Amino acid sequence: MEVSLWGDMIVTGDDKKCGDAAKGNKAGGDRAGGDNAAEWLPPKMRDLDISIPYSNPPTDRLMDFYASWAENYDTDLIDAYGYMAPTDAVAAIMTLGLPSDARILDAGCGTGQAGALLATAGFTHLDGADLSPEMRAVAARLGVYQRLYHLDMTTDYAPQIVDFGRTYDAVICVGVFGYGPPYVEDLPRIMDAARPGAPVLVTVNGRGWEKMGWDDSLIPVLAAADVTLAARTRIRHMVKEGVHAELLDLRKG
């Protein structure tokens, strides 16, 4: 999923949907929830129980929360917060010289914002993957993905994509990483989806980057997995909130 709500700010991540309860507590601590949690939400979200993602809920209850948000997800993000990470990440992938028929996976596709931009840019072989079936259902209406499937980004990708009989010429992952879960140590898993040497572009919420210590942890995690950081670029994220993102270009093999 492309964003989640954390404390008093908007941050990215599949974090409330695809991690274990202990990790969720580690990242959120006592900042989660609270009587005033709804004051900073856009109007269409104020009828949701925002305490759910912060209360160690079972997965089915958490999925119910995101199911309730799916229809208003794009409007809330773009209109209320000026969400620009998909635009800038797709602009970056367009500079890599990929052919229009390159096989691209939109990992953590959410409602398909990045996929729609990739299709507009002329890419014709797109797959999307996300943990939430309701988000995938919204993405399916766009008609830009050849396939949409379930993906838990906190577990190994290889067993999850084996049924699709392919690795990808490029992978894009927008708005999933930052505070976590998934955490920085989960990042190398995404390389399972890419053929050797293929570009894997991942955005990381800038506030999450600082708060969760990505400067210290990223390179050791990548080195241990034999993943190379080919480039790191600052891009826009939530422009109305003054939040940037770090765009990572990762390669392996």
- Is 53's pLDDT higher than 70? no
User: What value does the mean pLDDT of the chain take?
Assistant: 78
What is the separation, in whole angstroms, between the first and last Cα of the chain? Answer: 28
Where on the phi/psi map is residue 56: left (φ > 0), alpha (ψ -120 to 50), or beta? left
- Is 209's pLDDT higher than 50? yes
| Confidence band, pLDDT 50/70/90 cuts, at residue 43 | low
Dump pLDDT digits (tens) for 108-146: 998 999 999 999 999 999 999 998 888 899 999 999 999
Number of domains, the chain: 1
Q: Specify the CATH number for the domain of residue 87.
A: 3.40.50.150
pTM over 0.75: yes
**What is the mean predicted confidence (pLDDT) over 211-224?**
95
Dump pLDDT digits (tens) for 231-245: 999 999 988 888 899
Q: In this predicted structure, what is the pLDDT of residue 101?
A: 97
Q: In this predicted structure, what is the pLDDT of residue 37?
A: 42
**What is the mean predicted confidence (pLDDT) over 84-92?**
96
Q: What is the DSSP string of 72-110?
A: GHHHIIIIIH-B-HHHHHHHHHGGG---TT-EEEEET-T
β-pair type (200-205, 243-252) = antiparallel
Range of the domain at 166: 1-253
CB 184 within 8 A of CB 221: yes
3-state secondary structure of 156: coil
